[in-house]
Amino acid sequence: MLPPSQKALVPFISVDHMMQLINHIGLEQMLTGLASAIEDDFKRWQSFDKTPRIASHSAEGVIELMPTADETAYGFKYVNGHPKNTRSGLQTVTAFGLLADVKTGYPVLLTEMTLLTALRTAATSAVAAKYLAPKAAGTMAMIGNGAQSEFQTIAMKAICGITCVRLYDIDPTATAKAAQNLAGQGIKVIRCSSPEHAIEGAQIITTCTADKQYATILTDNMIGAGVHINAIGGDCPGKTELHRDVLLRSDIFVEYPPQTRIEGEIQQLEPTHPVTELWRVIAGQSAGRTETKQITLFDSVGFAIEDFSALRYVRAQVHGTPFLQMLDLLADPNDPRDLFGMLKRSQPCPSPLEIV
């Protein structure tokens, strides 16, 4: 059988190649680049197809498909969320994604997105804080020190200029891990003994815990005036991190209300409770932080346009590098109408004696 033509080969970025690409670009530079791509796409929010992600829930977690498209490209991400996986040495979140040409339907990129999702989530958080956090915010409390914590911290440093992070996790080994990983990253790291200890002096409070339950990581009496809360752990029905009274005191910003009202912190509120879409702030159509004592809350659950931005960015960055391979993923018959003939020709030719 003849080898497939170049038009049928799909560029693929493996986990190893993604790590090499990140190291080639530089982690902070890549986070900054992803943030710029997300801002650019949020400014043209109206040009995208939008739908809440398609979720299959179980008692153990959730498996989701996150699709979107603009006039030239279609993208989707497959992602799971299984908090108990870490008990058996598995990742809580794994993902892969695909970008395709709208004109032909042919994929133009297939990539791992476990690492890439961590980066794009951190970049999105930092974009939100750029518009919503107090000016000259220098300290972030990072409550929940799992797989996201280091990326969140470094993104806030690179994009928002924080100089100190205060770490807390119910599991001290997670905090020790995060502190060790952040050593030498140019940011002061303080290990804390409780959520209350962690938020002391913090202008930005990020919550990123994993348990699939209605949790109360932050209570109303813990939150003083003028802070920005970056709530990213609650991302499915029945999973929240903040007491309802914290929400009632905050100006709330979200990605896509039809999805966030199902999955985010605001699932605790009435469906008519006012929220502001973050893209409107970035596009200059709505106000972000307007006063010093204002409490702002980014209720982030992750949205498909952010993944589209990440796929678009990575495709541009990987071009011309050795950090990809070409996959024989698409059937490529000589005659597009003769798929059966392609299959037939792939079989060994019979000997003349076998032909009756």
182: which strand partners? none
Q: How many residues does the chain have?
A: 356
Could you give the percent of the chain with pLDDT greater than 90? 84
Q: What is the pLDDT of residues 340-352, one digit of tens each?
A: 999 998 887 666 6
pLDDT mean across residues, the chain: 93
Supply φ then ψ for residue 164, to 5 degrees: -145, 140
For residue 290, what are its two tokens? 């307007």
Domain boundaries, the chain: 6-115+307-345, 126-302
Can you tell me whether residue 184 is helix, strand or coil? Answer: coil
For residue 72, what are its two tokens? 């030239």
Question: What is the CB-side half-sphere exposure of residue 348 using CA atoms within 13 A?
Answer: 4
Q: Any idea what the Cα angle at residue 72 is, between residues 71 and 75, rounded to 5°?
A: 100
Q: In angstroms, what CA-CA distances link 281 with 39, 134, 135?
A: 10, 15, 16
For residue 73, what are its two tokens? 């490209």
- For the domain spanning 6-115+307-345, the CATH number is 3.30.1780.10
Residue with tokens 């080994």: 173
Average pLDDT of the segment spanning 226-240: 87
Cβ–Cβ under 8 Å, residues 298 and 128: yes
Average pLDDT of the segment spanning 59-64: 89
Supply the pLDDT for residue 347. 81
For the CA atoms of the chain, what is the radius of gyration?
A: 23
Buried b (16+ CB within 10 A) or exposed e, 17-47: bbebbbeebebeebbbbbbebbbebbeebee
Superfamily of domain 126-302: NAD(P)-binding Rossmann-like Domain (3.40.50.720)
Burial class (CB in 10 A: 0-12, 13-18, 19+), 299: buried
Q: What is the pLDDT of residues 125-163, one digit of tens each?
A: 999 999 999 999 999 999 999 999 999 999 999 999 999
Q: Which helix (H) or strand (E) holds 97?
A: strand 95-101
Average pLDDT of the segment spanning 256-284: 96
Judged by phi (left if over 0) then psi (alpha if -120 to 50, else beta), residue 186 lies in left
User: Which of 3-7, 275-279, 309-313 shows the lowest per-residue confidence on average (mean pLDDT)?
Assistant: 3-7
Average pLDDT of the segment spanning 100-124: 97
- Nearest alpha-carbon partner for 163 in 131, 191, 189: 189
Average pLDDT of the segment spanning 207-211: 80
DSSP conformation letters of 30-49: HHHHHHHHHHHHHHTGGGSB
Q: How far apart are CA 98 and CA 89, in angstroms?
A: 27
Cβ–Cβ under 8 Å, residues 184 and 214: no
Average pLDDT of the segment spanning 109-129: 98
Q: How far apart are CA 37 and CA 306, in angstroms?
A: 9
Residues known to be catalytic: 235
